[in-house]
Amino acid sequence: MTTRAERTRAQPSPGRGIAALDPVPPVVLVLAGVTSIQFGAALAATLFDDLGPAGTSALRLGFAALVLAAIWRPRLDRHRPESLRLAVIFGLVLGAMNLTFYEAIDRISLGVAVTIEFIGPIAVATLLSRRRLDLVWVALAASGIVLLAAPWSEAGLDGVGVAFALVAAFFWGLYILLAQRAGQVFDGGEGLAIAMVVAALVPLVPGIAEAGTDLLNPGLLALGLGVALMSSVIPYSLETEALRRLPAHVFGVLMSLEPALAALAGFLVLSQDLGVREIAAIALVVAASVGATRTTAFTAPAEASIDA
């Protein structure tokens, strides 16, 4: 059995957080980030007719990278190769998560897409918790996803949109683990800034091909900056800070209001109505998350399962 001193020497020193956010409880940080990102997603969807999902993704991540790099001014020569490798992997996951999610909400409503995507955080919570009871919540969430997709109905969801949402769910699960690890290795938002520069490269080619010269339209650029702030800079900064103080599985289940907030944002910004079946399915997923939250032990932050 290793001693505490031996475990401390074997692990990298945790990065320093954002001092201004120290008084804010981590739960508040997560909920503020969730609200910001869902209304940012609704705003992004209004750009799809002009830029397409890939073009909107390129604009969002490009602006986010510029803003975060200007704020944190990361210096690559100060970090070990393994830390930079972590930031690169984090960035690739961020870029893929955003691009596939935008492709999903271009085909299915925002609330439905986020509900399907939410299987990622629930999976992380279950895998890291190792409690048998959590299998009940997974089954409840899966029932909600099946109810949403309605494969028995001719009026079921667009299959391609569902597939994109499921891929985004996979990347969201990886994001939770990588964001926590980055918060332990980098100071402040420096790791996020490096990762966002990498993320901006993921949708660049398809974004330019899809949007063309519309990416230079001043009005669309202004909206793109707003999307970047609401969907990337603010929520990712808040979530990275929260993950310094929370276990990854607790973070995953604290976002239990995410599908409901997405449905609200879709209704208020995009006039997307939901039927009884969709509302019932979202309620099942939210209930699964709340149940997992109530049965999860609040322990010290767990180590990420992905090697830096």
How is residue 19 annotated by DSSP?
Answer: G
Model pLDDT for residues 181-240, shown as the tens digit of each residue: 887 888 777 888 999 999 999 999 999 999 999 999 999 999 999 999 999 889 878 877
CA-closest candidate to residue 252, choices 94, 30, 35, 90? 30
pLDDT of 278: 85
Condensed to tens digits (0 to 9), the pLDDT of residues 6-29 reads 333 334 444 566 667 777 888 888
C-alpha 218/C-alpha 204 separation (Å) is 19
pLDDT band, very low/low/confident/very high, at 302 (cuts 50, 70, 90): very low
Answer yes or no: are the C-beta atoms of 142 and 193 closer than 8 Å.
no
Of 80, 74, 42, the C-alpha closest to 270 is 42
pLDDT for 304 equals 36
In angstroms, the CA 254 to CA 276 distance is 25
Q: pLDDT, tens digit, for every residue of 125-180?
A: 777 776 777 778 778 888 887 887 766 665 667 889 999 999 999 999 998 889 87
- The Cα-based distances of 127 to 198, 252, 254, 301 in angstroms read 28, 11, 15, 15
